[in-house]
Chain A
Amino acid sequence: MSAADSPGLTDTDPTDRERVPEPDELTVLVVDDEPVNVLLLEMILKARGFNVAMAEDGAKAVDRVRDGHCDLVLMDVMMPGMDGYDATRHIKRIEAETGRFIPVLFVTALTDEKRLAECVACGGDDFLTKPISRVQLNAKIDSWLRTQAMHRTLQGQHDELERHQQRLDMEQQLARRIVGKAVASPVLETPGLRYRYRPAEILSGDILLAGCTPGGRLMLMLGDFTGHGIAAAIGVIPLSNIFRSMTRKGFSPAEVLREADARMCEALPAEMFLAAITLELDPVSRTLTVWNSAMPPLLVIGRDGTVRHRIGSSQLPLGVDGAHSPGRELPAMLELQAGDRLFLCSDGVVEAGGRQPFGQQQVEQVLTESAPDQGVERLEQALVAHLGHDLPGADDITFVELDCGRLLSELAGCREADGLAAETGPDVRQGNGAVRSGWARRCCAGSTRCPCCSVRWSDCTVRCSNGRASTWCWPNSMPTPWSTGCWGWTPASRRPKTASSRTTRCARAVSRIWPRARSPSGCVTRASAW
């Protein structure tokens, strides 16, 4: 690394840059075709110790300046060949090219105000009228040398800032590529999953992760780190590592969340956290499970274009408090209906526009009015119209729309293609004697206890015939294999009479987390199956 491109180092010492050099370090160029005038000026300048250079016409003056051996020019107006105005225009052009400021002071016998004004109009910095006063000349030279020193300081700072900026941009671009590789997933390209990802800076605090478990479940996480830029991007790497590796191994979102939360509590400073929506789509049971940790509500939009559910935040963000990890809380669950669309976004969407925010209501209006496959485009157009400029605004903006029908059939397709259908569990005999076709999942994905009632899974009696007893099971008293093994929002009247005490405990845990008033009664759609 050379000194020039390392931050904080400059080629000139700043204190040195601001100093006006001593006269003997400076060369003043006198441009005049009259030897008498030149002699007079030379006398005055040499008396102060300046080095003096001379040119008898404009063209020679321009050459001297181009050679770089002059710091200030005293310019006559009328000369044979190139006159003073033209010469000044040339000198100022050289100045712009090199970034060196060379003050040009006209020394003239002209009294016509129009001609004097022209001295400044052509690029000159000041003028002095003959007869020359020694005091005036010295004062003007000193004043312009001070301005020159100031210019040099500014120029130096400007160059330094530019170098810093370039370096920062380069590093951020590199970090962006690293983050891009960390979050990239072919799952994000699945038909039926459409999204917009618009960082406010080169690096985004928003993160969108998607993956498929070996059992064919889709997991998606939309997160929003506090702030944006490098600090936010640093958090993305461990999060995406945990998400990717655990999803690939078939862990449940609850376990991914617990692990990610624990890692973030350990590694991040107290003021940094991650708000996130994590969802799981099961193509077999057609259920949606959502953990909303401090994000805007997830919308479930029905085929008729109305918002069927708003699944709002019910958990703390990740990386705040291990004891309250979102992975330990009860998720919202619902059975999907044909034609359902899901929409999730970061708060940059709802708050776009600052003092006049776009607002949740408008988000919903745009989505409900748009055709099923147009939601993302329509919302983007509406946001651009609201902001009056292209995305993003002041904050990172990310939004995702999932066309469930399409997505589920894609997922089911790849599941069968992978020969994974065999991993479903045994058929389930329901209370009314009917046999429900078997599907299985890792109840709370292999964890030893139910997350809300803490019953050990080893108490389960229904086990998978493939021998992996500890991973494929669900509690004995539950006719339907909920992914959490809990009764969720099942009303008491629909619960089987044989429900054990653990069911009651679960129900209590549920009502503590979802008070009756806020309980999304529509989420109990599974109850109809019993």
Chain B
Amino acid sequence: MSVKDYTARNGKELVLEIKGQFDFSLHKPFRQAYRGHSGVEVYRVDLAQAEYMDSSALGMLLLLREHASGQGAKVVLCNCQEEVEKILRIANFQKLFQIERNGVEARGDS
């Protein structure tokens, strides 16, 4: 389980790579990873290597959303595995976040 963060597009995009179980144990590292960056326009959460996420992970995404909206930035979730995408769909998070599959935006139901 880990969070790796790096910036892209001249610091305008912050990528957060989640590896393994996305659950409460990542609460602190996840918060630390997105804090303290200025001028970010897009927070991209790369879930390619996230095997599972629980409700506290959904909570962390909501915290990131709150943080991003305070800066006028947006949050994009990308490369979700099937299991993770199912969890996001049940929670209907496609109404709150842009969800991209392999770089292509997957249209939500709404």
| Stretch from A1-9, A267-275, A481-489 at the B interface | A267-275
Closest chain B residue to A271, Cβ basis: B59
Chain B residue contacts of A273, Cβ below 8 A: 55, 58-59, 62
A226 touches B109 (CB 8 A): no
Interface check A419, CB cutoff 8 A: no
Q: A270-B66, A512-B110, A513-B109 are in contact. Are A226 and B92 (CB under 8 A)?
A: no
Closest chain B residue to A347, Cβ basis: B55
Chain B residue contacts of A324, Cβ below 8 A: 92, 95-96
Question: By the criterion of a CB under 8 Å from any partner CB, how many residues of chain B are at the interface?
Answer: 19
Interface check B106, CB cutoff 8 A: no
List the count of A-B residue pairs having beta carbons below 8 Å apart: 61
B92 touches A314 (CB 8 A): yes
A-B contact pairs, 13 of them (CB 8 A): A226-B55, A226-B58, A270-B59, A270-B65, A271-B60, A273-B55, A275-B55, A295-B90, A313-B89, A313-B90, A324-B95, A513-B109, A513-B110
Interface check B91, CB cutoff 8 A: yes
Residues facing A in B69-99 (CB within 8 A) are: 89-93, 95-96
Closest chain B residue to A514, Cβ basis: B109
Closest chain A residue to B108, Cβ basis: A515
Spell out B's residues near A (CB within 8 Å): 24, 55-56, 58-60, 62-63, 65-66, 89-93, 95-96, 109-110
Chain B residue contacts of A295, Cβ below 8 A: 90
A227-B95 Cα distance, complex, nearest whole Å: 23
Closest chain A residue to B59, Cβ basis: A271
B66 touches A320 (CB 8 A): no
- Shortest CB-to-CB span from B7 to chain A, Å, is 24
A316 touches B92 (CB 8 A): yes
- Mask: chain A, 62-96; 1 = CB below 8 Å from B; 0 = not: 00000000000000000000000000000000000
Spell out A's residues near B (CB within 8 Å): 224, 226-227, 270-273, 275, 293-296, 312-317, 320-321, 324, 347, 512-515, 518
Chain A residue contacts of B89, Cβ below 8 A: 313
Q: 15 more A-B contacts (CB under 8 A) besides A226-B58, A293-B92, A294-B92?
A: A226-B55, A226-B56, A270-B63, A271-B62, A271-B63, A272-B59, A273-B58, A275-B91, A294-B90, A296-B90, A313-B89, A316-B92, A320-B62, A321-B96, A324-B96
Chain A residue contacts of B63, Cβ below 8 A: 270-271
A315-B66 Cα distance, complex, nearest whole Å: 20
A294 touches B91 (CB 8 A): yes
Q: A270-B65, A320-B62 are in contact. Are A313 and B55 (CB under 8 A)?
A: no
